[in-house]
Amino acid sequence: MATTGQNFYELYRRSSVGTALTDTLDDLITEHRIDPQLAMKILANFDRAITEVLQEKVKARLSFKGSLDTYRFCDEVWTFQLKNVTFKMENGGQVVTADKVKIVSCTAKPTGNSA
């Protein structure tokens, strides 16, 4: 579990759930129903909660195959862009294909407080 002062990556804010949350918070701020400071606290809590839930609860595995288009490494973050990607669940489930896929991978942060 994370400790109180730990920062989490903001990657999941660009997911469909994160975008919906951000849009809703923007609307609430515009309508003067919440302060921007509260919205920032909510987003920080979202960053923590989604990271912890994905780490603890998701056990499914998949494999994928595609062509590497571009890659970069900057500030401890890897970004890979793939083309013609095929995803396959480990239990022989459905095969899904995509023309383009972007994968962002960040260095795991320690679970304790970092000074």
CATH number of this structure's domain 62-106, picked from the four choices 2.30.18.10, 3.30.360.10, 2.60.40.10, 3.50.50.60: 2.30.18.10
pLDDT digits (tens, 9 = 90+) for 8-52: 888 899 899 999 999 999 999 999 999 999 999 999 999 999 989
Fold match, 11-57 / 62-106 = no
pLDDT digits (tens, 9 = 90+) for 67-108: 999 999 998 889 999 999 999 988 877 899 999 999 988 877
User: Domain ranges in the chain?
Assistant: 11-57, 62-106
| 43, 14 contact by CB (below 8 A) | no
The pTM of the full predicted model, rounded to 2 decimals, is 0.66
pLDDT digits (tens, 9 = 90+) for 58-74: 888 889 999 999 999 99
Band of pLDDT at residue 6, cut at 50, 70 and 90: low
| 79, 71 contact by CB (below 8 A) | yes
CA distance 51 to 40: 17
What is the pLDDT at residue 94? 83
| 11-57 has CATH 1.20.1290.10 classification | no
